[in-house]
Chain A
């Protein structure tokens, strides 16, 4: 039972990382109608810059800020130079151009930082454990990640739904010309929004860095999972992103732990471990196929 709770929290923590990625990506898609494969590259930029700053003794918060800032600036430059030429293109063009960006960023990172992965430790003040469930000490850093993710998502929801900027953004999504005619600088707004989504990806990158090797190509693994999240949730929907992220985070984490155990009930252990591991890694894609087979536009569909 305690193990289950611990795995549940791990799943939640992974889900929150996915959520930070997915909320940025789904906003950019829902509002600008743009598929950005290079969103994973922003995650990678955040992780690299954050890890490097911390390794050079910047302290955790300054490092976090550096990572988030670097991702945001990279994102805004990307939007200004390339993305704004693609808003009116079809999705195929967007996929290809951003595929080109991925190649560029992955290679650029290995030019600057080399091909060896770099490691990052969680900050000292969060390196301990918290025993908030009696008998199950849980790493404080993972809890901090969960809390940050929840706070940021709440802020995002507030920003888009309750503020004037959010209103402009939503208005721009439904009619770009009209909001421009009303005197709102929509292209600046889009650049800022893109930068904001990039900052979220950078934040996810820095926070995920202690759990995984920081290396070239790290962005694509999470990018594909993020796509699964937003497709399951319904593209463009923040609520859908939340639901999808939790679903995928929990399915993936719990699946890896329990599916091999479950398989052992029916199969000899040697077969069960192999088949279980393989089924666990395919689980989320199977889940996605099932969801889309019944709801082709995701759980919370927004576009008609």
Chain B
């Protein structure tokens, strides 16, 4: 083995190679459902990698991340609806179907609400933070449930997928590889961010906020920025899932969705950024294989989660890179 590439880097390379191989393998087995399933996992991984930034590095346990996921999805859904029937959305603008308009907007709207939620929530910490983020997600859940203009409880169909000139997003492979590329980009940018001065400050705030303040940093400012970045990524993933399932509903914001995102992060390995990708694949593969056994698959998944939490700390990536090193989360690659 090449000595100067760490095991963690290997696990990153491996997962992206595996992801890239999915479509050819699926075609070889003539099983196109496999691409659809992996595509869902990849989109959830995008949101989970973003969530790992605040939970794993910032120590902000957000139990309401589905709110941003849903906000992003509804941004795509609502703009798409107006673009489809040509009706007014706001100030005479009839929505849009252009991915280069809709996706950044989904991120922006999610980041905006992240800013508001973060401003209030970050005044608290610990359990209060977990609960208040959950409560905000519920608030948005009920908001969309009662938003009868856009389908309310029944949800909203996305009549057209968003368009990118030169790409056919209806093509299964194209859309899949596009989502993988976005995942890679998000992973890369966040890895750079975590290694930067900004990232060090975030990690420092997790370890000892008072000390960071003594060093002259404003922890709230840094944590809020990280929270908004994470929210924006959640919004982007939401816009992708809206395109993937061509349907948005309040179910995307259900509290169990926030739980699922947290499960993905922990299962894969907290504070590793690549871990959530493993976590998403593991969770969806587990779900699919359990569903083929029994419709009551959650009765097995629940105890599996408990076992993972109790005995399998460090998650999949912690296990792959050697159990002992799993606890060294943020020290970089020492070899």
Residue numbers of A with Cβ under 8 A of B are: 29, 35, 82, 85-86, 89, 91-93, 95-97, 99-108, 110-111, 220, 224, 227-228, 231, 235, 274, 277-278, 281-282, 285-286, 288-289, 292-293, 296-298
Do B123 and A281 have beta carbons less than 8 Å apart? no
Across-interface contacts of B308 in A (CB, < 8 A): 96
Do B296 and A110 have beta carbons less than 8 Å apart? yes
With A35-B127, A92-B55, A220-B255 as known contacts, state yes or no: A292 contacts B138, CB within 8 Å.
no
6 pairs of A and B residues whose beta carbons are closest in the complex: A104-B302, A100-B305, A278-B146, A103-B302, A285-B139, A107-B299
Question: Can you pick out 13 interface pairs between chain A and chain B where the beta carbons lie within 8 Å of each other?
Answer: A86-B310, A91-B127, A92-B266, A97-B306, A100-B306, A103-B298, A107-B302, A227-B131, A235-B128, A278-B146, A281-B142, A281-B145, A296-B128
Look across to chain B and name the residue whose beta carbon is closest to the beta carbon of A279.
B146
Do A29 and B127 have beta carbons less than 8 Å apart? yes
Across-interface contacts of B139 in A (CB, < 8 A): 282, 285-286, 289
With A86-B310, A292-B132 as known contacts, state yes or no: A100 contacts B303, CB within 8 Å.
yes
Do A95 and B63 have beta carbons less than 8 Å apart? yes
With A95-B61, A95-B130 as known contacts, state yes or no: A104 contacts B299, CB within 8 Å.
yes
Q: Contact check: which of A29, A104, A227 meets B303 at CB < 8 Å? A: A104
Q: Contact check: which of A99, A111, A220, A298 meets B263 at CB < 8 Å? A: A99
With A108-B299, A224-B135 as known contacts, state yes or no: A231 contacts B61, CB within 8 Å.
no
Known: A86-B309, A278-B147, A296-B128. 5 other contacts (CB 8 A): A92-B262, A95-B130, A103-B298, A224-B134, A274-B148
- Expressed in whole angstroms, the minimum distance between the Cβ of B255 and any Cβ of chain A is 6
The answer to whether the Cβ of B247 comes within 8 Å of any Cβ in the partner chain is no
Complexed CA–CA distance, A258 and B288 (Å): 46
Complexed CA–CA distance, A137 and B252 (Å): 43
With A95-B130, A106-B298 as known contacts, state yes or no: A289 contacts B120, CB within 8 Å.
yes
Look across to chain B and name the residue whose beta carbon is closest to the beta carbon of A98.
B306
Q: Contact check: which of A96, A220, A296 meets B124 at CB < 8 Å? A: A296
The answer to whether the Cβ of B13 comes within 8 Å of any Cβ in the partner chain is no
Q: Contact check: which of A231, A274, A281 meets B135 at CB < 8 Å? A: A231
Complexed CA–CA distance, A107 and B301 (Å): 10
Across-interface contacts of A105 in B (CB, < 8 A): 302
List which B80-139 residues lie within 8 A (CB) of chain A. Answer: 120-121, 123-124, 126-128, 130-132, 134-136, 138-139
